[in-house]
Amino acid sequence: MLFHRRRPDRIDQHPARDIHAERLSALVHHISDVITVLGVDGRVEYQSPSLERLLGYRPDEAAEGPWFLLHPGDIAAVQRYLARCRATPGGQPPLEVRVRHRDGSWRYVELTAFNLLDAPAVHGLVVTWRDITQRKGLEQQLARQAFYDPLTGLPNRTLFFERLERALIAAREHRGSVGVLFLDLDGFKIVNDSLGHAMGDLLLAAAGRRILACLHPDDMAARFGGDEFTVLIERLWHPSVAVQTAERIIRELRRPFTIEGQEIFVGATVGIAVSTPGGPPVRPAELVREADTALYAAKAAGKGRAVLFDPSMNSRVLERLNLEAELRRALEQEELRLFYQPEVDLGSGRVIGLEALVRWQHPVRGLVPPSEFIPFAEESGLIVPIGRWVLAEACRQAQVWRQVYPSTPLVVGVNLSARQFQQPDLVDEVEHVLARSGLPPASLKLEITEGTLMEERAAAAQVLRRLRGPGVQLAIDDFGTGYSALSYLREFAVDTLKIDRSFLHGLEHDRRAAAIVRAVASLGHALGMNVTAEGVETPAQLVQVRISRCDTGQGYYFSRPLPSAEIEALMRAGRQGLAARVS
């Protein structure tokens, strides 16, 4: 970066010293580091030829000194560094700077300066320049691995918290506000489980790009882990700005993604937390926790929305945590119970099936209905172990009844939640339970809601075909409450359509409802399916579903859900127990 020049008055006339100088010159010519000697006035007195190897310039091409090669952002630092060196005898700690190569690229070099002004042979500052470009590249790579998500290229959790902490400090100093958005992708697990992790990874990367595109340049998006993302909004002048940003992200993520030629639909739910201007100091983890709490509230309200945190949510979250702990304990302590609701043949009045329904025998609250814990279990993921227990217990009990009452063949129905249906080992689990219990596959009917089947139709149809392989019966539950696109029924290999109870309310007075029930029954029969009417509660409803040619009925008119002991009493009573109510 400087040029080679020796002052005439420094030339030694002694041959021995010339030999020593030549040897030193040969060494200097062949070392990779660049050596520069600056005089008292700061002018270059010596510049080693290795400058050309480092930066592509010959020493005589850098006649004006090093400054024109330094990065503009580093010039002031180098000037201060040399001033300190000039004022302090001995060496200075290294300084890293950027220097422009002849090809226009920037190289990182490490400067080390020594004050040898008092050395008669030098009488100047000696500066060495070492190329550290490769080392800096590795350091930057390691830093990127430590602070950035390799999948999306977004900052990771660690960098997000560091930036959030700095933003909160700045907000306190200026009595400003900071916003945090915590979001996850609705429906991502379905994509990951049905289409594979590779497609899931591509979807996450695409979602990250869309989130980033929704933000102001000063805002920050980070991948928190899994399908969770966070957004930092600095210098937030009003909470409504955070809400608008969240709603913009939701709209963008709701648009279909095209991944590997396949159209994929997901959504997003967002929790928002905002620091209070001039309020008490808030820790980064606390603000993120509030945003996470708001996210839970948003999901409880129906997903696909943004919710701003308020302190009352803390008590609800505490209740949810207590409920989760109690529900886990219920699984461990065997507090769950199965009740069974009969399914009756509308022609003969014979009980031909039993639907297994879970209840919670709480040690303090007594018998807890499913409406009070199943929605939370589905949201928290506890529905998967609960569903496994229900499947195993229902098959075990059904096999016991088959052995005790061989003249009363029954099919036991078990509901599969959306999360259970998406488990990749579902088919293996069903086969394992059947083998362990000894129950014939034809004596088990798995019931899946049409909403669950329609979330990913192609994958659902494949799972249904695999389940039917061993001979298990399949039913579409709550038919008519979801998509009700009758054309899709051809895709699904099912045995039974269960018409949702909502169509039976006022059936005896509503001609349109009656027409719908008749149409569904006719369609089901045309496709070779049995049709069950759920929620039969009155004699008039029974008359209408029989007129509509439904095959079986289920509801309080026949029997409420009963514990196993009462089901056994019903079996012992034989056909007369329910036949009189059907005739």
Q: What is the DSSP letter of 443?
A: G
What separation in angstroms does the CA of 155 have from each of 145, 158, 218, 444, 496?
A: 10, 8, 14, 49, 50
- How many residues are given for the chain? 583
Nearest alpha carbon to residue 275 among 365, 173, 424, 375? 173
Residue 215 burial (CB < 10 Å; 0-12/13-18/19+)? middle
CA dihedral 212, 216, 220, 224 (to 10 degrees): -40
CATH number of 8-138: 3.30.450.20
Cα–Cα distance measured from residue 556 to residue 536, given in angstroms and rounded to the nearest whole number? 6
Q: Partners of 126 in the beta sheet?
A: 37, 114
CA angle 567–419–291, rounded 5-degree value = 125
Cα–Cα distance measured from residue 60 to residue 553, given in angstroms and rounded to the nearest whole number? 100
- Domain range annotation of the chain: 8-138, 148-310, 321-582
CATH number of 148-310: 3.30.70.270
- Using left for φ > 0, alpha for ψ between -120 and 50, and beta otherwise, residue 168 falls in alpha
Contact criterion met (CB below 8 Å) for 536 and 554: yes
Contact criterion met (CB below 8 Å) for 64 and 52: no
At the top level of CATH, the class of 321-582 is alpha beta
Q: What is the pLDDT along the chain (583 residues), one digit of tens a residue?
A: 333 444 444 444 555 455 545 555 555 555 768 888 888 887 888 888 888 888 888 888 776 666 678 898 899 999 899 899 988 888 889 999 999 998 989 999 999 999 998 888 788 889 888 998 888 877 777 777 778 998 999 999 999 999 999 999 999 888 889 999 999 999 888 788 778 889 999 999 999 999 999 999 999 999 998 899 999 999 898 999 999 999 999 999 999 999 988 889 899 999 999 998 877 888 999 999 999 999 988 887 778 999 999 888 877 777 777 788 888 888 888 899 999 999 999 988 888 999 999 999 988 888 888 888 888 888 778 899 999 999 999 999 999 999 988 877 889 999 998 888 888 889 999 999 999 999 999 999 999 987 788 766 777 888 888 888 889 999 988 887 655 455 667 778 789 999 888 888 777 777 888 888 888 899 889 889 999 999 999 999 999 999 999 999 999 999 999 999 999 887 777 644 444 455 5
Contact criterion met (CB below 8 Å) for 384 and 193: no
Nearest alpha carbon to residue 195 among 97, 264, 131, 258? 264
Question: What is the enclosing helix (H) or strand (E) of 117?
Answer: none
